[in-house]
Structure 1
Amino acid sequence: MAFSLKTKKARAVLNVIFSVGAAVVIFGALAKIEHWGGAMGRALEVGMLCETFVFVLMAFQPAEENYYWERFFPDINVSPEEEEKRTGSKFKPTFLNLPANGHARNPALNEMDKMLQEADVTPANLKRLSDNFQRLGTTVEKMSDVADVVTVTGEYTQHTREASAALVKMRDVYSNAANAVASFNNSAQSTHEFHSQIQQMTKNLASLNAIYELELQDTNNHLKAMNHFYSNLSAASQSMAGTIEDSRKTQEQVALLAKNLSNLNAVYGNMLSAMQGSRH
């Protein structure tokens, strides 16, 4: 919608709508002031609705584009009268020298074209100059090829020397590698012997572990037997302690019985004496 409102026709239609809406509002205000009745009394309400629609429509109106013509025409805001007072001569309008495409041509380009024409710089002369530069470049390249041959020969000699030195270093490296391989083989033999010794030691440790397990099992059985013996001994000791207590109580009862028997004998003796005395 904003794109369609940029056209000249759309601006004219908007201008008509704004004017009609303002006229309706003014007419409604007049009817309200004069207290006109009937349909005229509703004119203000209709005008306010029209004004609301107008303001909503104005929200979609695109902004005016401002062009800074002063950058290209510094005296665009100067009136002809001020120009005549400043220059002292009659004002003359300046016509733009526009090309066929409608764009203004830069004066500096006009001066450049004039200088090129005076120097007889034509496309044909420029082509001949380009051909001469190409021939010069070809000659320079050939001269550089000769220099390159000499340089390449020297570089080949230098590279040959470097290759010889590299071969000597490579020989030393292979010799060191052979020594390292021999040392590695010796180390491998020593490692094999060490591995055999480790295996033998592992077997011995396994045998010792089996013997230790048997001894540990015998010791455990012996400890169990000792614990059982000590348990029985403790029970026997407790039984003997009970027997001693019972013997002590029996001895006390026997002593008490002997005492009672002694008292009973005394009683019987007294009774017997009393009975004998009564007979006499």
Structure 2
Amino acid sequence: MAANNGPSVFWDRIIPFIYSAGAAVVIVGAMGKIMHYDWASVMLPVGLSVEAVIFLIYAAQSLLRPTVEYQWERVYPELDVNYKGELPTRSSTTQSSGLGLTAKMDDMLANAKINPDIFESLKAGIQNLNQSVSNLGEITSTGVVTAEFNGKVKEAAAKIGEMNSSLGNAVGAMVSLGDATRDAQEYRNQFHKISQNMSALNAIYEIELQDTNRHLKSMNAFYGNFSNVLNDMSDVSKDSQQFKAELNKLTTNLASLNNVYGSMLSAMKGSASV
């Protein structure tokens, strides 16, 4: 292997826990900001900072713990990109060494003391060898699958990075929306206060209008009474004129009466002197 990427408690257990816990902090902060909780103004920056730290840890993980890559060219040289020889071929050939080969084989078997137990042991050994070769093939297939899995993991990590970026943009948009909603709420509160003030002004105006109506009614009554007084004064003026006329007549009559009495007295004096 190119690097020692064996099981690690830190990378395999602690780091995934940090990823999940940090994402939970970000989600809780975004929820608090959307719901306009008091603690959201502190929680959201903390969550975004934790998310930034998580991305830094992921970047460090990509450098310090790279993907496992097996050097199969060391086992199969023909897999090397710089291999220029002929591709190996597998063939089985039998060669005859002459008529004495069978006799030699018989002598070798006799000297080696070959018996059925030896053949059973050989059979068992061949079976174990076949099993080992099969396991080796499974390991090779597992390495290929692991390489494909690592490629998929890298693609998924890239997609997660894009999703986190989109999530950051969405969180920013939600924050802006939350600010706009808060401004709208404040505008609504101000408008509600204005409505209350207008209601109070309407009540005051209605009270003033009622007082004005009462004053108008009082003034109308006063002017009505004053008109009656003027009419009465007009009648009194007419009576005064009539009284004056009658008084003039009386004065004239008294003057005439005085003249008559004066004439009578003169006549009476004249008669007395004769």
Bucket of the pairwise TM-score, normalised by the shorter protein: 0.3 to 0.5
Q: Rg: which structure is higher?
A: 1
Higher relative contact order (CA 8 A, sep 6+): 2
